[in-house]
Amino acid sequence: MLLNKIRLRVAGGRFFDLLAVLAIAFVAYRLFIAPRIFNPHPLPAPHVVYESLSGPPFVLTQHRGRVVFLDFWASWCEPCKLSLPLVETYARAHPDVDVIPVDVGEPREVVAAFAASHRLSHVALDSAMRSQAFFQLDGFPTMVVIDPHGRIRASWQGYNPAVELNMATAAQTFAHS
């Protein structure tokens, strides 16, 4: 009887060990593999022009020669609220790339209030929601990487606490492509 109880406890412990290993593997996949969806056959980025929250319109073709990160978000999106500060930190630390937060589908007043409260800079507005078709957006946040030649090279969707690492890897990979 005692031996059976010991075997049952060991088997139960092994189950939780296996469950922990699977959870760690899933988290590692989500952080380091899934976000790095690099396109081996890049397509040209569409010629998009977005109204800017402050200053002249954002014209994607005027950023040729630089790596551009388009960070699509909305103020109602909870994962976006977690991701945007990380993206902004990366943008401020890396002036050699262009990081453009693009609000999708919201009125200018809502975006202006949200951007001010979250200290966002270089905010572009896509109130007509054209980005969903242009960049095949399925949800927010979505990051799209454009190489210096104006080609879409990578994209990833959803909150990722390692977004700064992914951005650094993409910038380094595509800066001289």
Asked whether the predicted pLDDT for residue 22 surpasses 80, the reply is no
CB 86 within 8 A of CB 162: no
5-20: per-residue pLDDT in tens?
A: 666 666 656 666 655 5
| Residue in 81, 126, 88 with CA at minimum distance from that of residue 106 | 126
pLDDT of residue 89: 95
Collapsing DSSP states into helix, strand and coil, what is residue 152? Answer: strand
132-144: per-residue pLDDT in tens?
A: 999 989 899 999 9
pLDDT of residue 16: 61
- Is the overall model pTM greater than 0.85, yes or no? no
The CATH number given to 39-174 is 3.40.30.10
The per-residue pLDDT of the chain, averaged, comes to: 86
CB 111 within 8 A of CB 140: no
CB 122 within 8 A of CB 50: no
Query: For residues 114 and 56, what is the distance between their CA atoms, to the nearest angstrom?
Result: 20
